[in-house]
A and B are shown apart, each in its own frame.
Chain A
């Protein structure tokens, strides 16, 4: 999709000003992840899928009662006869997606990340991954993107899914990347699990002239003191933190790693080997089993011994509440990232 088309659906996010001492409400939208004044784009996944489906008769959509909450309703409206509402039944949604793939279709199946990774695991691994079928599982509410507590917060989905052979895992940063990645995974011949930001999604990477490449990590900015290695919306956080840290004379590079599996080992090893930098992984996920540990193991295997720190969610069931409050509390807000790096340098 052209940048003009993307910008046609964009708007500016304006955070409500909260008087000091007032408690925030839980019902924050994804757009609240972003900093004030930045452009957001509406439903990038749904619109990219509609655009793709124009030329791809094989693309069908399935959901387990969450089309409106995964932006698949945009596709359902455009292609009602290619949309399957499977009801509140994740097992049969996943199995049926496998069956459709067997008959030559490319199914996009959507639900929340908690339900796909926890409830539907056996169906994804046996019906889809073991047979390497081209089913795309696209899941909203990854990591800490809802204040509803552990029932909705998929803080360990990457840890669960990384153990699955054949599966490609994508953790996109923003609306631009979701648009690109949706098209790229449609062309990928195997199964994919993609984390999704839905609704009004920030446009962060537009200004970097970024183009998503499946399986590739890319440097968004260079720096000599710190190398952030990040995925998902934590890339927008570390980009903002890098700007703040620059003012304090701390020069930070950002390596964005949207493909969690297979990991771009070469680029990670090459960048981490450029000596003298503190390597800081940053992920919207538990510190157990996600990007941070994957990068740590990669560096150990390659014999790259560098100072290493991990920013991520604790290995714990997280509190309910408002996202800005929780992101500060768990150390993944821009200010919290900045403070951590200052303390480490």
Chain B
């Protein structure tokens, strides 16, 4: 059955994604929880507003494809797919454990609903170009979404794909850039010239939007605009997000690419989240 987008608020979905991610982070006592908390709103809009899919049939031909380039964001996508019913909730405790279907870095062969193997950065958008070409060959009206990171924009192969998508007029391709300005060694904007971000994509021929990625209404509007834009161009939504969003004491930590959380702090974080459970 196709996912029903009605009834439950997106705020509640984003809350549930954050909660699932915190529970998984606690299993490993570490993890890319900062990214997961930051991107939870974008994933809530993706999986509970924008994408068509069937939770019980992850390879349904009519689905919109969601390609996660950034393998280390797997914790966030698992959290969203658990909320969506693609993955069972009772596997949360297996995250990153031996024999789990949810390894630390996302891989297609391990996990239902994980479309590609990410992790080696700069791959997702190029694979998405080929899949978008393939969908057009098959006259399949589905969209390809590719979630990539700001740090990934430093990879030259990403820009090969950016040019190729314009060349082939891939209006069925929507790139989502999680711009949290954090990469492994520090701020992305201090590593390779990343600004002005939207203007670069526009100059290359994309239909580009830049939004506050933690403002659900703004993200919904950007996804709707991207899907309904009538130019024969690929589309990009640059989502400016805040690492660790929703857990203030974690938001304040200075180095947050791979956030350190003390053992007792998981309970504290979950407590903060539970106090603000939306309807």
Query: Residues of A with Cβ closer than 8 Å to B?
Result: 60, 84, 86-87, 89, 91-92, 94-105, 107, 122-123, 126-127, 130-131
* Contacting pair B126 A91 (CB below 8 A): yes
* Contacting pair A96 B129 (CB below 8 A): yes
Set of chain A residues within 8 Å of B107, measured between Cβ atoms: 130
State the CA gap A86–B138 with chains docked (Å).
19
Q: Which of A92, A95, A103, A130 contacts B137 (CB 8 A)?
A: A103
User: Chain B nearest CB: distance from A120 CB in Å?
Assistant: 9
State the CA gap A131–B114 with chains docked (Å).
12
Q: Which of A92, A100, A122 contacts B134 (CB 8 A)?
A: A100
Set of chain A residues within 8 Å of B156, measured between Cβ atoms: 91
Set of chain A residues within 8 Å of B127, measured between Cβ atoms: 95-96, 98-99, 102, 127
Set of chain A residues within 8 Å of B265, measured between Cβ atoms: none
Set of chain A residues within 8 Å of B120, measured between Cβ atoms: 122, 126
Set of chain A residues within 8 Å of B167, measured between Cβ atoms: 87
Set of chain B residues within 8 Å of A122, measured between Cβ atoms: 120, 123
Of all chain A residues, the one with the shortest Cβ separation from B115 is A102
Q: Which of B115, B131, B135, B160 contacts A89 (CB 8 A)?
A: B160
Of all chain A residues, the one with the shortest Cβ separation from B122 is A91
Of all chain B residues, the one with the shortest Cβ separation from A130 is B117
B157: interface (CB < 8 Å): yes
* Contacting pair B137 A99 (CB below 8 A): no
Ranked 6 nearest A-B pairs via Cβ: A99-B130, A95-B126, A103-B134, A96-B130, A99-B131, A91-B157
Count chain B CB atoms within 10 A of each CB in A99, A102, A122 and give the residue with the most: A99
Set of chain B residues within 8 Å of A105, measured between Cβ atoms: 134, 137
Set of chain B residues within 8 Å of A94, measured between Cβ atoms: 126
Q: Is the interface of A mostly helix, strand, loop or mixed?
A: helix
* Contacting pair A96 B126 (CB below 8 A): yes
Q: Which of B125-151 contact A (CB under 8 A)?
A: 125-135, 137-138, 140
Set of chain A residues within 8 Å of B161, measured between Cβ atoms: 91-92, 95-96
* Contacting pair A102 B109 (CB below 8 A): no
Set of chain A residues within 8 Å of B140, measured between Cβ atoms: 103
* Contacting pair A126 B117 (CB below 8 A): yes
* Contacting pair B132 A95 (CB below 8 A): no
14 contacts between A and B (CB under 8 A): A89-B160, A89-B163, A91-B126, A91-B156, A92-B157, A95-B130, A99-B134, A101-B130, A102-B115, A123-B123, A123-B126, A126-B117, A126-B119, A130-B109
Q: Which of B108, B119, B132, B157 contacts A99 (CB 8 A)?
A: B132
Of all chain B residues, the one with the shortest Cβ separation from A105 is B134
User: Chain A nearest CB: distance from B219 CB in Å?
Assistant: 26
User: Chain A nearest CB: distance from B106 CB in Å?
Assistant: 12
B164: interface (CB < 8 Å): yes
User: Chain B nearest CB: distance from A256 CB in Å?
Assistant: 35
* Contacting pair A91 B134 (CB below 8 A): no
Set of chain A residues within 8 Å of B135, measured between Cβ atoms: 103
Q: Which of B161-212 contact A (CB under 8 A)?
A: 161, 163-164, 167-168
* Contacting pair A97 B130 (CB below 8 A): yes
* Contacting pair B123 A84 (CB below 8 A): no
User: Chain B nearest CB: distance from A278 CB in Å?
Assistant: 45
State the CA gap A232–B133 with chains docked (Å).
34
* Contacting pair A100 B117 (CB below 8 A): no
Given A92-B161, A96-B130, A103-B138, the answer on whether A131 and B123 have CB atoms closer than 8 Å is: no
Of all chain A residues, the one with the shortest Cβ separation from B161 is A92
* Contacting pair A104 B134 (CB below 8 A): yes
* Contacting pair A99 B128 (CB below 8 A): yes
User: Chain A nearest CB: distance from B170 CB in Å?
Assistant: 10
Set of chain A residues within 8 Å of B116, measured between Cβ atoms: 102, 127, 131
* Contacting pair A102 B163 (CB below 8 A): no
Set of chain A residues within 8 Å of B119, measured between Cβ atoms: 126
Contacts A87-B163, A102-B130, A131-B116 given; 9 further ones with Cβ under 8 A?
A89-B160, A95-B127, A96-B126, A96-B133, A99-B132, A102-B134, A103-B137, A122-B120, A127-B117
